[in-house]
Amino acid sequence: MEDITPQEGQDRVKQGAMLVDVREQNEYDELRAEGATLLPLSELESRFSELPKDRELVMICRSGARSARAGEYLTQHGYDRVVNLGGGTLAWAEAGLPTEGTAVKGEAN
């Protein structure tokens, strides 16, 4: 599975890829990449079939480790268009890309 940069991730989402955040609800609520869909790693095994196979999936977590595990799991279950966003939400925010959540309320993005 390929690791991509935050900018590449944003570009792919703009081109139709789905950004899938695999952190837990409280982490997602606090800070997330704009447009990310939550599917916690703890629920992936029972819910992965909700993800489309006809779109590229850009997996993201806090720093890139959990999303890499999620991507490997999906690849093993027939998803062939899966990439990992290296550095995760931390790298996304550090790159100045749009974020949402309680940690950014009141800040201009």
DSSP state of 36: P
d(CA 2, CA 9): 11
Query: Which of these is catalytic: 13, 18, 51, 61?
Result: 61
Domain assignment of residue 108, yes or no: no
Q: How many domains does one find in the chain?
A: 1
Note the pLDDT tens digit of each residue in 17-40. 999 999 999 999 999 999 999 999
Domain assignment of residue 91, yes or no: yes
pLDDT for 105 equals 57
| Residue 50 belongs to domain spanning | 2-100
CB 61 within 8 A of CB 67: yes
Alpha carbon 53 to chain centroid distance?
A: 16
Neighbours of 41 (CB within 10 A): 18
pTM, 2 dp: 0.93
Domain assignment of residue 107, yes or no: no
Indicate if 91 belongs to the active site: no
Domain assignment of residue 106, yes or no: no
CATH classification at residue 27:
3.40.250.10
DSSP state of 87: T
Output the CA torsion 11→100→90→21 (10° steps). Answer: -70
